[in-house]
Structure 1
Amino acid sequence: MSDSEIVRYELDGEVAVITLNRPEKRNAVSDRLIRALADAVTRAQTEAKAAVICGAGKHFCAGLDLGEHVKRTPIEGVHHSRGWHAVFETIEAGRIPFFSALHGAVVGGGLELAAATHIRVADATTFFALPEGTRGIFVGGGGSVRVGRLTGVARMTDMMLTGRTVSAEQGEQWNLCQYVVGAGEAKSFAIDLARKAAQNAEMSNYAIIHALPRVEDMSRADGLFLESFVASMAASSPEAEERLNAFLDKTAARLSHPST
Structure 2
Amino acid sequence: MSDISLLRHGPVTEIRLDRAGAGNALSTALATELAAATGEIGDARAVVLSSGAPRAFCVGADLKERDRLTDAGFMAQRPIFRQAFAAVRDLPVPVVAAVHGYALGGGFELALSGDLIVADETAVVGLPETRIGIVPGGGGTQLLPRRAGAAVAADLILTGRHVRAEEAQRLGLVDRLVPAGTDVEAAIELAGLIAANSPVAVAQARHAMRRGFDVDLAAGLDIEDSAWRAAVFSDDRREGVRAFVERRPPNWP
Within 1, Cα distance between the matches of 2:36 and 2:145?
Answer: 27
1:110-148 CA-partner distances (Å, limit 9, x unpaired): 010000011110000001111111111111111111122
- Aligned match of 1:176: 173
Residues 78 and 211 (structure 1), Cα distance of their counterparts in 2 relative to 1, 3 Å cut:
farther
Query: In the alignment, which of 103, 107, 112 is matched to residue 109 of structure 2?
Result: 112
Q: Are 1:55 and 2:58 matched, yes or no?
A: no
Q: Which residue of 1 aligns with 2:4?
A: 7
Alignment of 1:150-189 (within 5 A): 150-189=147-186
Structure 1: gaps of 5 or more residues: 254-260
Work out the number of aligned pairs and report it: 249
Mark the CA change 1:215 to 1:166 in structure 2 (over 3 Å): closer, same or farther. same
**Aligned ranges 1:210-249 → 2 under 5 Å:** 210-249=207-246
Q: Is the 8 A contact 2:61 2:106 kept in 1?
A: yes
Which residue number corresponds to residue 41 of structure 1? 38
- TM-score between the two structures when normalised by the length of structure 1: 0.89
Q: Per the alignment, do residues 75 and 158 of structure 1 end up closer, same or farther by CA in structure 2, a change over 3 Å counting?
A: farther
Question: Which of the residues 16, 19, 35 maps onto 2:13?
Answer: 16
DSSP-derived class of the 1:63 partner: coil
**RMSD of Structure 2 on Structure 1 (CA):** 1.8
Cα deviation digits, residues 62-101 of structure 1 (max 9, x gap): 0001122234444543453343332222222321111110
- State, as a whole percentage, how many aligned pairs show the same letter: 32
Alpha-carbon distance change, 50 to 114 in structure 1, aligned in 2, over 3 angstroms: same
Point out where structure 2 has 5 or more consecutive residues left out of the alignment: none
Work out whether 1:25 is the aligned partner of 2:41.
Answer: no
**Residue 141 of structure 2 contacts residue 157 of structure 2 at CA under 8 Å; is this kept in 1?**
no
Give the alignment partner of residue 129 of structure 1, picking from 118, 126, 130: 126
TM-score (norm 2): 0.91
What is the alpha-carbon distance in structure 1 between the residues aligned to residue 151 and residue 94 of structure 2? 28
Give the alignment of 1:187-206 within 5 angstroms.
187-206=184-203
SS of residue paired to 2:138: coil
Question: Which whole-Å CA distance do the structure 2 matches of 1:47 and 1:79 have between them?
Answer: 33
Question: Which amino acid is the alignment partner of residue 24 of structure 1?
Answer: G
Counterpart Cα distance in 2 of 1:21 and 1:252: 36
**Is the 1:93–1:209 Cα contact (8 Å) retained in structure 2?**
no
Contact 2:6 2:16 (8 Å CA) reproduced: yes
For the residue of structure 1 that corresponds to 2:169, the secondary structure is helix
Is the 8 Å Cα contact of residues 52 and 190 (structure 1) preserved in structure 2?
A: yes
